[in-house]
Amino acid sequence: MKILENYDLTPLNTFGMRARARFFVEVNNESDLKELFLFPEFKNNSKMFLGGGSNVLFTNDFDGIIVLNKLKGVDILREDNKNVFIRSMGGEIWHNLVSFTVEKGYWGIENLALIPGTVGAAPMQNIGAYGVELKDILENVEVFEIETGAKKVFKKTECEFGYRDSVFKSKFKGKYFISAITLQLSKIPKPNISYKFLREYLESNKIIVKNSKASPVASPIRLQPRDVADAVAEIRRSKLPDPKVIGNAGSFFKNVFLSEVKIKILLEKFPDMPIFKENEVVKIPSAWLIEHCGPKDGISWKGYKEGSVGVHIKQALVLVHYGGGTGLEVKNLAEKIISSVYDKFGIKMETEVNII
Ligand code: EPU
């Protein structure tokens, strides 16, 4: 294991922003990790752990040490007739883990197909898409405490998962390195096709019968995890920009959740505002709020371009980098969007992406 200096981070962040790290190291196995805790470059500097770099915006060089998680390996820990427990190391590519499980016919993470990034980053923000969140199938998270190098296991309940949130992102931010996770998947069909766009896609492609319940038994063709993963991948491809083609980090902003009372007041003023009920709270898609504001009257942010950065034409939640721009340009654009949404709707949107 070698600690490198003045390392170029451009290929390591999906925004494709130019940035350098004072120190850089790749961790390929757990013994590398144990060794790393002894290095002065690690002990005496600020640290940042990087997976796929798909949820980060560099606005500056990083004056510390970047640790790239390359821990590999996927194992079936135990199984019975109904369940299978799968442990994946944190440096695995998330979508490869999804492909592995859907190939085996296991249910649980098929709705999370094609989410960019690594397995180790998934618990940080409780990744979610198309009606499923990581917390729905997570068993535990293995970590190393950064100050002591001690290994610890967080049970699901200890992770305090919320919408795009966990203890690793909030109260324990920067305290732990996520080395592995274990998932509990199902061998018994458990499709979750409650998300409107997903259900409509499966219906219009005749993969399920229109208006049938989530049960695959009601379908003439038996639904497989692969069908759901393929549908999700297709929907994502049609709406979200491929970071290999246009720099981006997926949703730049979080959706907004408000109480019914607040929603009622807003709906009186903005009757066209779409709302989605989720348990006790109601979600307002931030994409809609952004789409209905802009740099000036009569112009929407959606599809707006400012120099080398902009707002994606098909999904207003996604900020994009066309190349040659800087992280600061994206940050400035994000701030303008946040303040225009606040001025019009009185809603303060939060960013989902980690701004460095
Ligand atoms: N909408 C607009 N304008 C747009 C796009 C969407 O008004 O440009 C409105 C529509 O009313 C639409 C609603 O927003 O019905 C929901 O849109 P979509 O299904 O695309 O989902 P989202 O709420 O905008 C979230 C996640 C995505 C995830 C999708 C699907 C967040 C911040 N984003 O987006 O996650 O793929 O749901 O589950 O929660 C990511 O985190 O990087 C990400 C892409």
Catalytic annotation on 352?
A: yes
Q: Measured in angstroms, how far is the CA atom of residue 310 from the centroid of ligand 1?
A: 17
Pairing of strands 128-129, 83-89: unpaired
C-alpha torsion angle, residues 156, 160, 162, 167 (rounded to 10):
-110
DSSP-assigned letter for residue 132: E
Catalytic annotation on 164?
A: yes
Q: Measured in angstroms, how far is the CA atom of residue 185 from the centroid of ligand 1?
A: 25
- Out of 87, 164, 199, 236, which one is annotated catalytic? 164
Pocket test residue of 317, 341, 352 for ligand 1, highest count of atoms within 8 A of CB: 317
Pairing of strands 62-69, 20-27: parallel
Q: How far apart are CA 92 and CA 71, in angstroms?
A: 7
pLDDT (0 to 100) of residue 208: 82
Per-residue confidence in pLDDT tens, the chain, 356 aa: 899 999 999 999 999 999 999 999 999 998 998 899 889 999 999 999 999 999 999 999 999 999 999 999 999 999 999 999 999 999 999 999 999 999 999 999 999 999 999 999 999 999 999 999 999 999 999 999 998 889 999 999 999 999 999 999 999 999 999 999 999 999 999 999 989 899 999 999 888 877 655 555 445 458 999 999 999 999 999 999 999 999 999 999 999 999 888 999 999 999 999 999 876 789 999 999 999 999 999 999 999 999 999 999 999 999 999 999 999 999 999 999 999 999 999 999 999 999 99
Which protein residue has the closest C-alpha to ligand 1 atom 19?
197
Q: Measured in angstroms, how far is the CA atom of residue 172 from the centroid of ligand 1?
A: 28
Cβ atoms within 10 Å of 244's Cβ, excluding its own: 9
Q: Is the dihedral of CA 195, 272, 284, 292 positive or negative?
A: positive
Catalytic annotation on 158?
A: no
pLDDT (0 to 100) of residue 222: 80
CATH class of 247-355: alpha beta
Please answer whether residues 55 and 353 qualify as being in contact, where contact means their C-beta atoms are separated by less than 8 angstroms. yes
- Out of 88, 251, 286, 340, which one is annotated catalytic? 251
Q: Is the dihedral of CA 9, 13, 16, 18 positive or negative?
A: negative
Query: What is the DSSP annotation of 235-298?
Result: HHHHHS--TTTSEEEEESB--EEE-HHHHHHHHHH-TT---EEETTEEEE-HHHHHHT--SSTT
Pocket of ligand 1 (CB under 6 A): 129-130, 197, 239-240, 250-251, 254-255, 274, 285, 287-288, 291, 302, 315-317, 352
pLDDT (0 to 100) of residue 211: 65
Specify which residues 278 forms β-bridges with: 281
CATH class of 74-186: alpha beta
Ligand 1 atom, smallest distance to 197 CA: 19
pLDDT (0 to 100) of residue 278: 73
Give, in order, the Cα–Cα distances in Å from 169 to each of 72, 73, 123.
23, 24, 9
Sheet architecture: strand order including 176-186? 74-79, 83-89, 176-186, 138-145, 151-155
Which protein residue has the closest C-alpha to ligand 1 atom 27?
129
Q: Where are the domains of the chain?
A: 4-69, 74-186, 196-239, 247-355
Query: What is the DSSP annotation of 184-219?
Result: EEESS------SHHHHHHHHHTTSS-TT--S-GGGS
What's the topology of domain 4-69? 3.30.43
Pocket test residue of 251, 254, 311, 345 for ligand 1, highest count of atoms within 8 A of CB: 251
Ligand 1 atom, smallest distance to 302 CA: 8
Q: Measured in angstroms, how far is the CA atom of residue 338 from the centroid of ligand 1?
A: 17
- Out of 92, 110, 329, 352, which one is annotated catalytic? 352
